[in-house]
A = this chain, B = another copy of it.
Amino acid sequence: MAKENPKTCETEFSVRDYELDSQGVVNNATYQNYLEHARHEFLKSIGLNFNELHRKGTDAVVHKVELEYKRALLGDEKFVIQTWAEQQGNVRFIFHQNIYKLPDREPVLIGKVTGVFMNNGRAIRPPKEVVDALT
C-alpha cells in the first residue's frame, strides 16, 4: 500500500440511511461520492481552489479509479477517509484514498484515483503552484 505523506488529510463521515441499498449496506457506488467529497476537502486543506483554476482554463479530470473493498459499511457507522497525492510522470496525479471504520480504524476500502490536468481538452503539465501544493 502506498505510503501517506505529511499533507495527508482526514475527513470524517457518518453513514446516512439513504445511502444503504437493499442488502442493508452502503451501496458500492456511494463510496465514489464519499471519495469525491474527501478529495475536494483535501484540496481545500492545501489551499487549492479548483474552481479558480477552472476559471483560468485548467481542469482536473478523473482518468482512472481503482477500488478494493475490504468490508461493508452499515447504517449509523462512522468512518474516516485519508487522502494524499503523488505525482506520476508529467501530467498525472494519483490520489490515494483509504477508508477506515471508526473508532477501531478497521480498513473498509483502499482507493487510487488517477487525475489528469487538462487545458482546452488537452492533457497538460499542471501549473507549478498546483504541483507544489499537492505533494
* Contact, CB under 8 Å: A17 / B21: yes
Cβ of A21: which chain B residues have Cβ within 8 Å of it?
17-18, 20-22
Q: Within 8 Å of chain B (Cβ to Cβ): is A105?
A: no
Interface core residue of A29, A37, A69 (most chain B CB under 10 Å): A29
Cβ contact within 8 Å between A28 and B68: no
With both chains docked as a complex, state the minimum distance between the C-beta of A61 and any C-beta of chain B, in angstroms: 8
Q: Which of B32, B40, B67, B68 contacts A17 (CB 8 A)?
A: B40
**In the assembled complex, A52 has its CB within 8 A of some CB on chain B:** no
Given A17-B22, A27-B36, A61-B69, 6 further pairs, Cβ under 8 A: A16-B37, A18-B21, A22-B22, A22-B23, A63-B68, A65-B67
